Amino acid sequence: MSPPRERAAAARRRRAQGTVDTFSGARLGIARRIARLPRTELAARVGISPAAITQLERDQIRPTTALAAELTLALGVPSEFLLRSVSPHPIPASSAHFRSLRSTPAMSRDQALAFAELGLEVLTAVEDFVDLPRVALPVLDVSRRDTPEGLAQAARQARDALGVADGPVPHVVRLLETHGVFVVTLPDELTDRRVDAFSTAAARRPVVLLSPLKDDKARSRFDSAHELGHLLLHYDAEPGSKVIENQAHTFAAAFLTPADEVADDLPRRLDWPAFHHAKRRWGVSLKALVYRAHSLKLLNESAYRRANVRLAEWGNPEPGPLGPPESPSLLGTAIAMLGEIGVTIHDVAEHASLPVESVQDIVDAATDRRPHIDLA
Amino acid sequence: MLGDQPWLVVENLWWHGVDGMPGARSEYDVLASDTFSDREAPSPLVSLKARPRTAEQ
DSSP three-state, residue A255: helix
Residue A272 to chain B, least CA–CA distance (Å): 6
- Average pLDDT on A130-157 reads 93
A329: left (phi over 0), alpha (psi -120 to 50) or beta: alpha
Confirm or reject contact between A259 and chain B (CB < 8 A).
no
Quote the pLDDT of residue A68.
Answer: 94
Nearest to B6 among A169, A265, A272 (CB): A272
Subunit contact B43:A329, Cβ cutoff 8 A = yes
Subunit contact A170:B48, Cβ cutoff 8 A = no
Quote the pLDDT of residue B2.
Answer: 45
Confirm or reject contact between A222 and chain B (CB < 8 A).
no
pLDDT at A259 over 60: yes
Exposure string (b/e) for A291-306, b if CB count within 10 Å is 16 or more? bbbbebebbeeebbee
More confident residue, A164 or B28: A164
Handedness of CA A359, A174, A317, A324 (dihedral sign): negative
pLDDT at B27 over 60: no
Q: Please give the model's pTM, rounded to 2 decimal places.
A: 0.85
Q: Per mean pLDDT, which range of A149-158, A311-320, B14-23, B42-51 is the poorest?
A: B14-23
Exposure string (b/e) for A335-363, b if CB count within 10 Å is 16 or more? bebbeeeebebebbbbbbbbbbebbbbbb
DSSP state letters, A155-217:
HHHHHHHTTPPSS--S-HHHHHHHTT-EEEE--GGG--TT--EEEESSSSS-EEEE-TT---H
Confirm or reject contact between A84 and chain B (CB < 8 A).
no
Residue A97 to chain B, least CA–CA distance (Å): 24
Cα within 13 Å of Cα(A21), Cβ side: 1
Report whether A141 contacts A157 (CB < 8 A).
yes
**Residue A200 forms beta bridges with which residues?**
A207
pLDDT digits (tens, 9 = 90+) for A265-280: 999 999 999 999 999 9
pLDDT at A187 over 50: yes
Quote the pLDDT of residue A232.
Answer: 95
pLDDT digits (tens, 9 = 90+) for A49-75: 999 999 999 999 999 999 999 999 999
What ipTM score was computed for the predicted complex, to two decimals? Answer: 0.80
pLDDT digits (tens, 9 = 90+) for A7-48: 777 667 666 678 888 899 999 999 999 999 999 999 999 999
Beta strands per DSSP E along A46-157: 97-98, 130-131
Quote the pLDDT of residue A16.
Answer: 66
Subunit contact A333:B43, Cβ cutoff 8 A = yes
Which class is domain A3-82? mainly alpha
Nearest to A130 among B13, B39, B47 (CB): B47
Task: Work out the pLDDT band at A100, boundaries 50, 70, 90.
Answer: low
Subunit contact A281:B5, Cβ cutoff 8 A = no
pLDDT at B23 over 70: no
What is the overall mean pLDDT for chain A? 89
pLDDT digits (tens, 9 = 90+) for A190-202: 767 677 788 998 8
Could you count the other beta carbons within 10 Å of the beta carbon of residue A208? 27
Number of A–B residue contacts, CB under 8 Å: 98
